[in-house]
């Protein structure tokens, strides 16, 4: 395992060293010490690496991740795993707003709570949150899934497209065009698989599914009040 101590190295040095692994992988296991909330840690990775960040991280940690597994042993700031393409990002603590924003693929697991707009504009990734999510989660989300083992804040799934949302706890309110939906066997199967991949022990049958009513997909003047 290669260790990078951010008391001694700059974020630029860390990221360059990780990016260099894309061309020729010489070390798969990495550990980052003393992150102290620095922004943009381990972003833009494109290799099957395992990166453990031993502490809190700032904005855009593991942004645009491809292939790598990034674990944060603490809290993260805004936009963790934003636009992730593949791989796994696991936050052991809480995540600030816009976690997993626009992510196209891969799995984001947040073991604590996630702030507002978790999964905003999601484009195919899966997000599993062990705790609660804030307001406007999955706003304009297009594809993928969001699993919330706790509660969801206001306006969940506002202007949703084709994302599958599963919530175990209370939903404070649903956003425009987001509705409660029947949990069919294929959804139970999907949820079971998501929970297993995230390593979270919950009963899928205790969740409720939410999705798009698809009433706002094409502009209609009759829906003017919803705009």
Partner 1 sequence: MTEEKYLNAGLRESATFDRTAMAEIRRAAQSGIYDIRGFGAKRRLPHFDDLLFLGASMSRYPLEGYRETCNTSVTLGTRYAKNPITIDIPVTIAGMSFGALSANAKEALGRGASAVGTTTTTGDGGMTPEERGQSTKLVYQYLPSRYGMNPDDLRKADAIEVVLGQGAKPGGGGMLLGQKITDRVAEMRTLPKGIDQRSACRHPDWTGPDDLAIKILELREITDWKVPIYIKVGATRTYYDVKLAVKAGADVIVVDGMQGGTAATQDVFIEHVGIPTLAAIPQAVQALQEMGMHREVQLIVSGGIRNGADVAKCMALGADAVAIGTAALIALGCNHPKYAEEFKKIGSAPGFYDDYQEGKDPAGISTQNPELAARLDPVEGGHHLANYLRVLTLEAQTLARACGKSDLRNLEPEDLVALTVESAAMARVPLAGTQWVPGQSF
- Rounded to whole angstroms, the Cα distance separating 166 from 181 reads 10
Q: Given the DSSP bridges, would you call strands 107-110 and 164-167 parallel, antiparallel or unpaired?
A: unpaired
User: Could you tell me the two tokens for 18?
Assistant: 């990780």
Q: Is 117 in the site for partner 1 (CB under 8 A)?
A: yes
The least distance separating partner 1 from the CB of residue 32, rounded to whole angstroms, comes to: 14
Among 43, 53, 70, 109, binds partner 1 (CB under 8 A): 43
Query: Quick check: 6 and 38 in contact, CB under 8 A?
Result: yes
Q: What is the DSSP letter of 163?
A: -
Query: Quick check: 33 and 52 in contact, CB under 8 A?
Result: no
Q: Is 177 in the site for partner 1 (CB under 8 A)?
A: no
Q: Is 104 in the site for partner 1 (CB under 8 A)?
A: yes
Residues 6+ apart with CB under 8 A from 37: 55, 56, 57, 58, 77
CB of 24 or CB of 201, closer to partner 1: 24
- Sign of the Cα torsion 20, 22, 25, 27 reads positive
Identify the helix (H) or strand (E) that includes residue 198: helix 185-198
Among 35, 55, 115, 124, binds partner 1 (CB under 8 A): 124
Among 75, 78, 94, 137, binds partner 1 (CB under 8 A): 78
Q: Is 83 in the site for partner 1 (CB under 8 A)?
A: yes
CB of 2 or CB of 66, closer to partner 1: 66
Q: Is 120 in the site for partner 1 (CB under 8 A)?
A: yes
> Tokens 């404070």 — which residue?
172
Q: Is 162 in the site for partner 1 (CB under 8 A)?
A: yes
Residue range at the interface with partner 1 (CB under 8 A); choices 38-46, 168-176, 186-194, 197-205? 38-46
Number of residues in the chain: 227
Q: What is the DSSP letter of 64?
A: T
Q: Is 181 in the site for partner 1 (CB under 8 A)?
A: no
Complete DSSP assignment for 42-82: T-S-BSS-EEEEES-B-TTTTTT-BS-EEEESS-B-TTTTT
Query: Quick check: 89 and 64 in contact, CB under 8 A?
Result: no
Q: Is 140 in the site for partner 1 (CB under 8 A)?
A: yes
The least distance separating partner 1 from the CB of residue 106, rounded to whole angstroms, comes to: 12
54-73 residues in contact with partner 1 (CB under 8 A) are 58-60, 63-64, 66
Contact positions toward partner 1, by CB under 8 A?
A: 11-12, 15-16, 19, 39-40, 43-44, 46, 58-60, 63-64, 66, 78-79, 82-83, 85, 98, 101-102, 104, 117, 120-121, 123-124, 139-140, 142-143, 159, 161-162, 217-219, 221
């Amino acid at each position: 395992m290669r260790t990078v101590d951010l008391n001694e190295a700059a974020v630029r040095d860390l990221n360059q060293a990780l990016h260099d692994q894309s061309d020729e992988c010489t070390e798969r296991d990495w550990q980052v010490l003393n992150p102290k909330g620095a922004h943009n840690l381990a972003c833009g990775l494109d290799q099957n690496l395992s990166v453990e960040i031993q502490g809190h991280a700032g904005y855009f940690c593991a942004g645009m991740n491809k292939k790598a597994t990034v674990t944060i042993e603490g809290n993260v700031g805004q936009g963790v795993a934003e636009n992730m393409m593949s791989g796994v990002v696991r936050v052991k603590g809480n995540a600030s707003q816009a976690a997993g924003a626009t992510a196209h693929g891969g799995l984001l697991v947040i073991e604590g709570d996630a702030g507002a707009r978790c999964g905003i504009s999601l484009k195919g990734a899966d997000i599993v949150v062990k705790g609660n999510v804030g307001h406007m989660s999955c706003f304009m989300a297009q594809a993928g899934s969001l699993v919330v083992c706790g509660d969801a804040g206001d306006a969940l799934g506002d202007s949703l497209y084709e994302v599958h949302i599963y919530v175990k706890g209370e939903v404070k309110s649903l956003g425009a065009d987001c509705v409660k939906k029947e949990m069919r066997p294929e959804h139970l199967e999907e949820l079971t698989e998501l929970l297993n991949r995230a390593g979270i022990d919950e009963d899928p049958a205790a969740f409720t599914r939410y999705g798009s009513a698809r009433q706002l997909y094409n502009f209609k003047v009759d829906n003017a009040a919803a705009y």
